[in-house]
Structure 1
Amino acid sequence: MEWRKEVEQIAAYVPGKSIEEVKQQYNLEEVHRLASNENPLGPSEKAQRAMQKAVLETHLYPDTSASALREVLAETYHVNTDEIITGNGADNVISIVVSAYVNEGDEVLYCTPTFPAYRSSTLLMGGVPVEVPLRDDFTFDLHEMKEKITKKTKLIFICNPNNPTGTIVDHEEIEAFIRDVPKDVLVVLDEAYIEYVDVEGYKTGIDLFKEGYNVLTIRTFSKFYSLAGLRVGYAIGTKKVLEPMLRLREPFALNRVAIAGAVESIKDVAFGEKHMKMNREEKLFVTEQLAALGCKVYPSHTNFIFVDMKQDGVVLFEKLLEKGFIIRPCAGWGLQNYVRISIGTHEQNKQFIDSLKDIL
């Protein structure tokens, strides 16, 4: 049976190594994954209790609109509930956006390297990915992006902070860029890591949306809120922008356990502050240790760091596997000497640095 021609253009997603796989392959009892940008603290205790209770009701279908979660999000960000759509992780929301708006031949603009879902979702719909290289400091080149806008441009994705580089765009620069974008082009701000941005007065996509700009903001509970295994994503935009997306969203996109966990996670402010403090301190520790080893660490506004190891990142990745550590080589983005390292607990980070010293 023949494949759709669009599917043939899409490279299969290559996930990071699983802990179970590495344990079996190298006969190890303990393995630490510093590759997938997960929160090492796990879900908050309040979220855990809510999820345990929700498990007892899994014989019932979930609320199709996830109204309890949308109400908490609306209260948190001071928007209306009908300006929020939920999905099965941010990846799912990205797919819905592209499916709702991109026709064959439409152009989708973004900088690269960045999150690969923009490209694959565009190709699947017969759209044309238009990729603009990042600047030398691995930040978005919004000036060059503006030059690439044509009459065929339908969507513009800005991953902010960017994955895999951890860099952000100055919010005034984003605001100026959006003002110059034609009104019939939707700017999508992918803010999967926005909770980690620690810049006073920084305007987020939700702030810009409330000021009337034509933007759609996508966020997730996978990173900061420790719910990667439950797949909870959402987007905030106008009712008009969300309307076609709601037609495509699967009826039960979020399960009962996911909804319960997400509601309590965002309400547990104290847990968020604890995680933020740990991430800030540990990111500084790992950065200083790597710099002392001669590596170049780029400024990061996330829970991971982007590092030029000054040697083949894939070879280093494989040597670290033998010692029970999984990192993310960036060769898939065309960056052979670069790796992405998630921030773990202090004990994990210390063991990781010691293992790296042994190798180097």
Structure 2
Amino acid sequence: MTNPTLWRQEVTKLEAYVPGKSIEEVKKQYGLSEITRLASNENPYGPSPKAIAAMNAAAADSHLYPEPTSAELRSKLGELYGVDPSQILVSNGADNVLMLIGQAYVNPGDEVVYCVPTFSVYRTSTVVMGGVPVEIPLTADYKFNLEAMLAAVTDKTKLLYVCNPNNPTGTIVESAELEAFLKKVPPHVVVVLDEAYGEFIDVEGYKTGAEYVREGYPVISVHTFSKLYGLAALRVGYAIATPEVLAPVLAVREPFPVSRMANSAALASLDDVEYRDFILSTNREGLRYLGNELGRMGVGVTPSYSNFLFADLHRDAAPVVEALLRAGYIVRPCKAWGYPEHIRITVGSPEQNRGFVAALERILGA
């Protein structure tokens, strides 16, 4: 057993990330043959058929190293967002991009400000570099408190994280509020907009992080192919920022961060606009259906702009989560985020959503 005294000091301040229960784990534990996982915000339909064909074709070249800059993918993303490819960095998943940002920017003693609860990598990427996390509570309606974040900025502040939509609450800050916030950020601070769920925002005229980059704000916009495009297992994430802001991130990135299969699948996913629109449409319908059904059962539902719902059961969620597991449904309990009566529910297919609603109704009735 490794002696903890040999560990890097910052590592002793961290706890390993605890993912949601796996399908395999639940099948074995409860003796079930069919499991529906609505805990990890995965695309219930999987990747585009074009993406599957592309990754299968790319498998034949697995003996070759990938093209290290993902030039073709950056070019296609540049067309999508209206930015130059030099303003895009592609790496091994959005969480990897966030870790790279911490490595590139955070010195010992630097402060990093964000609201909680949110994605845990902001804290990890700060602490591992010897930085100081400055954690601000969300607003009463579970949104990032931008005014409180600005008030917390000091001359030691290096990064501000805004998760938009926020995980686990699914909330967003309005475009006008976000733009006013960016205008007040001092020049020694970089804002990281985590837009892993950004494609799901269905608000007319809502501004994306790429638009703020084009307008010259000191912003890094972070995205993933894991959610909307269903490539979670392949690990493809990217950042959009000016070349000057991306330069230190490129300096610490791995030489070959994205596999040939992942790169090919991402390219094909962007080409399959019809499939993307299908996923967005069914997700909107699923949000409406689940929101209505949960409300009918007396469950509190926070308005969501993502592919999941933050639901208040108004009772200890642990027994409900356990009963759902026995019924074959995995959801994410929110006790670790400080909300023991909440669960996070991924929007599934219509069939999965109906089955989940029926199971939850039986459990709550009992």
Q: Are 1:170 and 2:177 an aligned pair?
A: no
Question: Which amino acid in the other structure matches residue 11 of structure 1?
Answer: E
For residue 75 of structure 1, report the CA deviation from its aligned partner.
1.3
Q: Are 1:44 and 2:62 an aligned pair?
A: no
Q: Are 1:282 and 2:289 an aligned pair?
A: no
Q: Which runs of 5+ in 1 are unaligned?
A: none
Q: Deviations over 1:246-277 (max 9, x none)?
A: 11100110000000000111121111111111
Question: Which amino acid in the other structure matches residue 337 of structure 1?
Answer: E
1:180 aligns with 184
2:238 aligns with 234
User: Residue 205 of structure 2: which of 176, 197, 201 is its match?
Assistant: 201
Task: Classify the secondary structure of the residue corresponding to 1:224.
Answer: coil
Task: Classify the secondary structure of the residue corresponding to 2:295.
Answer: helix
Q: Which runs of 5+ in 2 are unaligned?
A: none
Give matches, 1:257-296, under 5 Å.
Answer: 257-296=261-300
1:325 aligns with 329
Question: Which amino acid in the other structure matches residue 97 of structure 1?
Answer: I
User: Residue 138 of structure 1: which of 128, 135, 142 is its match?
Assistant: 142
For residue 312 of structure 1, report the CA deviation from its aligned partner.
1.2
For residue 222 of structure 1, report the CA deviation from its aligned partner.
0.3
Q: 1:89 & 1:157 partners in 2: Cα distance?
A: 17
User: Residue 346 of structure 2: which of 335, 342, 347 is its match?
Assistant: 342
Question: Which amino acid in the other structure matches residue 105 of structure 1?
Answer: G
For residue 315 of structure 1, report the CA deviation from its aligned partner.
2.0
For residue 181 of structure 1, report the CA deviation from its aligned partner.
0.6
Q: Deviations over 1:114-154 (max 9, x none)?
A: 00100011000000000110011001111111110000000
2:88 aligns with 84
Q: 1:40 & 1:207 partners in 2: Cα distance?
A: 30
Q: Deviations over 1:298-329 (max 9, x none)?
A: 00000000000111122211111101100000
1:55 aligns with 59
Q: 2:95 & 2:48 partners in 1: Cα distance?
A: 23
After the TM superposition, which parts of structure 1 deviate over 4 Å for at least 4 consecutive aligned residues? Answer: none
Q: Deviations over 1:184-227 (max 9, x none)?
A: 10000000000000000000111111111111100000000100
User: Residue 354 of structure 1: which of 355, 358, 361 is its match?
Assistant: 358
1:65 aligns with 69
Q: 1:223 & 1:323 partners in 2: Cα distance?
A: 25
Aligned length: 360
Q: Deviations over 1:61-93 (max 9, x none)?
A: 111111111111111111111111111100000
Q: 2:344 & 2:323 partners in 1: Cα distance?
A: 15
Task: Classify the secondary structure of the residue corresponding to 2:61.
Answer: coil
Question: Which amino acid in the other structure matches residue 255 of structure 1?
Answer: S
Q: 1:130 & 1:21 partners in 2: Cα distance?
A: 35
Task: Classify the secondary structure of the residue corresponding to 1:56.
Answer: helix
Question: Which amino acid in the other structure matches residue 257 of structure 1?
Answer: M
1:151 aligns with 155
TM-score, normalising length from structure 1? Answer: 0.99
Question: Which amino acid in the other structure matches residue 28 of structure 2?
Answer: Q
Q: 1:130 & 1:252 partners in 2: Cα distance?
A: 33
For residue 4 of structure 1, report the CA deviation from its aligned partner.
1.3
Q: Are 1:122 and 2:126 an aligned pair?
A: yes
Give matches, 1:217-256, under 5 Å.
Answer: 217-256=221-260
Q: 2:306 & 2:318 partners in 1: Cα distance?
A: 23
Q: 1:78 & 1:284 partners in 2: Cα distance?
A: 32
Q: 1:356 & 1:17 partners in 2: Cα distance?
A: 18
